[in-house]
Amino acid sequence: MGFFENNRLVDLLTNYLKTQFEIIKLDIQEHLEALLERIFKFIIIAFAFGIAGIFALMGIANALNQWLSSAFWGYLIVAGISLLVGLLLVASFRAPLPEKISEEEIENESDN
């Protein structure tokens, strides 16, 4: 009788562990779904703001064209300013250069 009870105990423990594993999988799935939802919303919002920004820049370019009595200078000015802002953003994302270590610091580190 003890042998059969041990098998039942092992089966119960195995089922318990399977259940716990499934609970963990469902929890991870819920977190992934929430993350994907936030990413999707961010993409939609970024797209909407991007389209609005393009139309705003076109309006500014058209206003500059009318003010300058030109057919193209407004577009060139807006494109130049946009390029400058883009280059500044790219430059800000670059990794900083590593600081040079003086010879004294190297000697101090080697003494320790």
- Provide DSSP, the chain: -HHHHHHHHHHHHHHHHHHHHHHHHHHHHHHHHHHHHHHHHHHHHHHHHHHHHHHHHHHHHHHHHHHHT-SSHHHHHHHHHHHHHHHHHHHHHSPPPPPPPPHHHHHHHHH-
Domain borders along the chain are 2-94
Per-residue tens of pLDDT for the chain, all 112 residues: 455 567 888 888 899 999 999 999 999 999 999 999 999 999 999 999 999 999 999 999 999 999 999 899 999 999 999 999 999 999 888 766 667 666 666 666 666 5
Q: What is the pLDDT of residue 110?
A: 63
Rounded to two decimals, the pTM is: 0.58
